[in-house]
């Protein structure tokens, strides 16, 4: 994931983002990755902006706590589309061709991978991962720490009763979610069970 986000960051630097450089931060020493230095956390400056390049929501949450005082960067691919009437929290990542539509409200450290789509009036919590080609239809509530696997489809709810995916739930690849998912549950299949 880090290399994918580095590609987005490089493009953003070339079109006027005022970052001086890109580095990877890791507890383990590494050689540079594709020319990008890897530094330990103790070498970060107080004003360095972090963006967590990890798909696992619980790991991102742990890092959010560990680096709570570090400023955050959000990375949006130039091909991502965000409605001016959507709200997205700090530290968010939108990969190539991700779409966030009108009225969506999304929390911190959100990750939408390639071709992910968040439709109108969805409310998404913190540390949520939406994998490639997920289609999340309108009026869906996704609570904190949810992981949605590649190609999953989330049926729309209604304004009066949004379809809800509970905190820390996991939706498997290719699943079709047609009813609420309890907190902590793992569902898969068509329809998802």
CA proximity to 80, closest of 52, 44, 50, 104: 104
Q: Is 120 a catalytic residue?
A: yes
Active-site entry in 10, 105, 120, 155: 120
**Separation between Cα atoms, residue 32 and residue 141, nearest integer Å:** 40
Question: What is the dihedral angle through the alpha carbons of 105, 108, 114, 116, rounded to the nearest 10 degrees?
Answer: -30
List of residues 6+ apart from 62 with CB closer than 8 A:
none
For residue 166, what are its two tokens?
């509970």
User: CB of 156 within 8 A of CB of 137?
Assistant: yes
User: CB of 149 within 8 A of CB of 133?
Assistant: no
User: CB of 100 within 8 A of CB of 83?
Assistant: yes
Residues serving a catalytic function are 120
């Amino acid at each position: 994931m880090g290399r994918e986000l580095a590609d987005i960051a490089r493009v953003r630097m070339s079109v006027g983002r005022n970052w001086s450089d890109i580095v990877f931060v890791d507890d383990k020493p590494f050689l540079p990755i594709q020319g990008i230095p890897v530094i330990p956390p103790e070498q970060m400056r107080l004003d360095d902006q972090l963006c967590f390049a990890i798909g696992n929501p619980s790991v991102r949450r742990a890092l959010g706590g560990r680096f709570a005082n570090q400023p955050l960067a959000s990375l949006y691919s130039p091909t991502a589309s965000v409605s001016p009437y959507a709200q997205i929290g700090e530290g968010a990542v939108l990969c190539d061709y991700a779409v966030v539509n009108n009225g969506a409200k999304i929390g911190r450290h959100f990750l939408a991978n390639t071709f992910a789509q968040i439709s109108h009036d969805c409310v998404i919590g913190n540390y949520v991962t939406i994998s490639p080609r997920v289609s999340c239809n309108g009026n869906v509530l996704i609570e904190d720490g949810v992981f949605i696997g590649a190609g999953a489809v989330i049926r729309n709810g209604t304004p009066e009763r949004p379809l809800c995916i509970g905190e820390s739930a996991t939706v498997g690849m290719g699943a079709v979610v047609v009813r609420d998912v309890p907190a902590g549950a793992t569902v898969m299949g068509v329809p998802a069970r």
